[in-house]
Structure 1
Amino acid sequence: MSFQSSEKMSVAIVREREDDFQPRPPRRTTTNLSVDFIESSISLSEDSRYVAEIDRFVSAEEAELYEDKTLAIWKEASLELQKLETAVQQLREKTRTKHSSHEVATSAFTWKQAVAEVNTATESYKNSAFVRICDKSGMFEQWLSLLPNDSYSAVISGAFVMGVQAARSLSGLSKSIYEALGSVPDVLDHAGTYIDIYKAHRSPALVSKTASLCRAILTTLRLVIEFITKGSLKRFTGAMLKGSHYQESLKESIEDMKLQALRVREEAGVCMQRDMANLNHKIDTRARQEQLSHALTKEELSLQIDAVPEATAQLVLTHLLRSLQSVPGYNIRTGGPPHTAGLLSLLRSEDTSPQPSSKADPAVTIESLSAVLDFDPDVLQADMDYCLTLGFRESPDFQDRAAWVMKASQTSKFLASDTGSKLLVVNGNHDAMEFISPLSYVCAKLADFMSVSEEIICLTYFCSRHTHEWREPRANAQGLLAHFIGHLLPQLKSRKRKRFEPDLSSLSIEDQSSLGDDDLAATWRVFEAIIRQLPRGTVVVCFIDALTVFENTTRRQDTNLFMKKLSRLIRKAKKVDLRCMVTYPGRSNYSAMWGIDFDGRCADKLEVPEYI
């Protein structure tokens, strides 16, 4: 086949394919509705101009300076764009027919047209380059949207359309041309993170490297289009076999394109690290603010209580509830009704005089019980600190969920009502596997506030911090109960105004020994005996966080048995005010087996909305 016949065939096929496309307007840049509203509805200074790259209004002088810098960065790419546009136009002139019914303007090409052309070619030729172009077309289209104006996208799309059409007419050149065209989207493989970073953080260095990558892509496409315009099967094959200047130029251009893509990814990584550092700084700042706010609220609560001689436990809870509702940003829609103050009635304080210590059987003492329980207060404090610190540092969404729970009406009733003992189950209705959740922060925060006064006996256990039985054999219901006893005994002994030492004479040495043998029944007898002996009016508040952890197959039976016993004790407790909050990151699946009605009297449930 002669050069002339090959060239005529190329021209004929391209002419035929060209008629399939209708002229389309260039892609319209996405509109910023907020900017449109400001410009149309708000009186601005006459010299104010909006600069999209920095997303703010600046003076006209500053906008011009920024525009000059942008033009300088994109200068080489802009020049290469003009060369590619000229090359595409020359190829179109060569393939134009005298009787064409319409003319496709270069600025009318879109990336969707280019993908459609490649898809059509794929139906005829099973080529891996076609598949790669189609697979990565979405990512490449996103990258095109980053470029300064629509001309880049139109010219690049036109180059693909004309290149694929012409290459299909010359079987000898098609493979290499397709491979060259396929290498363009290839360099943007896995570029999703880079594109997101570019949209959010256009640092001068990242913009500059993006411009260099664009220039390299334009150069590669220009070389392909120029060769198609000049070439033929004979000349192309000869060039490839002889290692011509064209082959070397195209190879160097593709390598440069890959190098620029690597530099872009590296710079995007630097930007991401910088953004992460800034984010961590913001998180640290917010965490310090949250920690300071918590400390100030705790200090104010302590001062309020100290100002009241012989403050009762109920008064402490009342002040606590008021403190929670008075923090900045309290939103009534989160569940705290305006009439909550009506729930803040105070219980009459009874038995305010110090209680005499009963003489217990010396065989079983608080000290001997504590030794068997092996309770470590440092572990409790570490759990509290961890959940508090986590809450201070977490996202606003995390803190919003925690705030919703603390200000819900059920929480208000749980803390401040005068109905006595109560069980409150909180269903987080969120990720059930997120054991350390906003509810962990709620439990830690409330327990820490309650620590300002010895009038409230506060017992806490974070199941989420004790998940592995193989590593911690007592990470189960018996261990939880033993932890409660170990936490309860020193609080009774350290109270100044209501110091109390329980009578342990009813407990045998066997009972005491059973505490160390994972005996749930024996451990419960000790806990129940102590609770029933507490002076009238004593308020005990228990927080059990993420009980889901102890409801797996191996621990479920004992956990349900423990909760059934605890529910019965809450229901029957009249002299002692026993309140227990049990939280679930997701939902409680076995609370119906506890033998208590969640009717709002002795027991209630709080359902946290899935979305706050």
Structure 2
Amino acid sequence: MANTTISPYHAVANPPVDFLLTQYNPQLALPIDQSILKFSKEADLFVGKDEAERLKREENELFAHANQEKQLLLEELIKYRERRHSPQVAAPLVPNVKCSWDDVIVALKKLSKEGDDNDTKFKKSLRAIGDNAEIFQRWLKLLPDGDYGATVSGAFKILLGVSAAQRSSDVRTAAFEALSEIPDVIQHAASYTYIYTAMKPKRLIEKTAALCSAVLIALRHIVRYFGDGSFKRALGALSRGPTFKEDMIQSLTTVKKLAAEVAEEANICQQARLQNMTTNMEVMNHNASSTHLTIQQGFSHLQSEAYVQRIGEEVHKRVVNDLMLLLATHPAYDHRTGQLLCLPSGVRQVKSSDAILSSDSESRNETRNVISTSGLIRLLRPSRLVVGDDLHRLVNSGHSLNLRQMDRVKWMMTSSNKIREWLMSSRSRVLLINGNSSAIESVSPTTFLASRLLTTLERMRSVISIYYFCSLHTPSSREHESNGTGMLRCLLVQLLEAGKPWNLSFLSEDDLDNLDGADLEALRNLVHNLIKRLPEKTVLFCVIDAVNFYERDDTRDDFLAVIDQLVFEVERSRKITIKVLFTCHLRSVFVREYVDDEDVLLVPERVDGDGQGWSKFTWQRTMGRQIEELGSSRSERE
């Protein structure tokens, strides 16, 4: 059985909280005393003990229906066990139908090794359960205290333990295909499990409870289909009409629907969390000043009972939560990886006074000083522009994708002509790839494909390539311009650095003041004027990855203004060729409106693959060769 690859981007669910609760540091009075404060995933904050208990009760209430379905499944399992029990042996008063998921894995491995079963569909179902076992176990651990996981695991183990004679039937094949679909559906919502590990807002708990209920109902229908009354009666039911089977299939459809909903809700919660971080930093500063406390003062007293009594529990909670926020938003901490970043030395905010007006070779013939290319770059460069590091990081990100995700990369390269047509077209074109996968992770199959494309293009002297990875520049990274304005500044810096020395005499003092103030209209005018001044027959590639991260309400307007400008340049280009690629982890809603139907590539929700994923050979045989052909055809034209 294949092992599910866990992305390193999810190695730690909530490192700031983990640090506060586990790291011993006497100077900072850490770890936090959990008899005073507890971290609540429901509130995404440290709260008092009473509040934590109230939130836990609220979660249990939301799982009330799931608890009822759990009892119904238990009853169905007990009835099934009693019917299958040998009449020569007295049945236990309360059959033990619960077990751990580890017991399921043992039974699965044992069953997989049996060599007397030639049913290909049956073996495929076993492999599917094994492939998704790790993520499914992770999901079971997310469920509330109780025996949800033990009950679900018990259902799997009982069905896996049916004798070979009983399994050799159409009923067996259909039931095991249905059984294997449940972990597979959870696998497709894998990113949600990582988010739910770190935070559990009420709406996400409701969606999780509904999904849990649906899984329990589906298992009950599978068990009933497998052995209602007796195995022979189940076979007879097939001849009378597939009512049991219809119920089973319908219940699985519900599971798939709810899994998609919970994944989408998790994405919304994650984006809202990131969006609020910058605002919360301002609140933190206000709290510190209003309570006449500094974070440093709070550090030394966090565990002091007298201190808590003096300032009160509410202020104590503020200090701890401010500390957590400080850790989460520190520029050296990357929430996506749970790792510390190495900041480049000399990083600082560029002011207008840093924009050097020179009388160098660019401007000797001018009657006034003209800003140099390097001066304009310094003026435009956001304070933490790291797009150069982005590409280096992402091109090596293949290890963070599992084989299913890599199969999606391969599908995009080999199963559609849209990318090839976009690449090889002699005219300027726009292409949107809707990846139809998870929007949560910063690295997706479309991100990896975009990074490989850009790396190959960079080796071609005959083209200019500029890019921006939206998922790597969000409010959580503490970039002040994680929006359309910041994106356009990044693109402009790359364009200026890629071209030969520019004659920037068209920029007036007012223009420079507006650019220094990050005026969006001034930035749009600048990109138009620079593209207009590119040499004839230039090929310009522009890749914007993960547009869904900037389609949120708070960043949408500026972002769509930039999208509008890029599409405008494509439509107006005559002397040069512009190829713009937009990618979306899910399905774009707003950028989609700027792209014609024939220029949209939609990746299927489920992609059939050979489990081998992406390889350099496949890349070179498809995309790499096409890019080389693009370079050759351009050289011939020149």
TM-score range, shorter chain: 0.3 to 0.5
TM-score, length-scaled by structure 2: 0.41
TM-score, length-scaled by structure 1: 0.43
When Rg is computed on C-alpha atoms for both structures, the one with the higher figure is 1
Which has the bigger relative contact order, CA under 8 A and spacing at least 6? Answer: 2
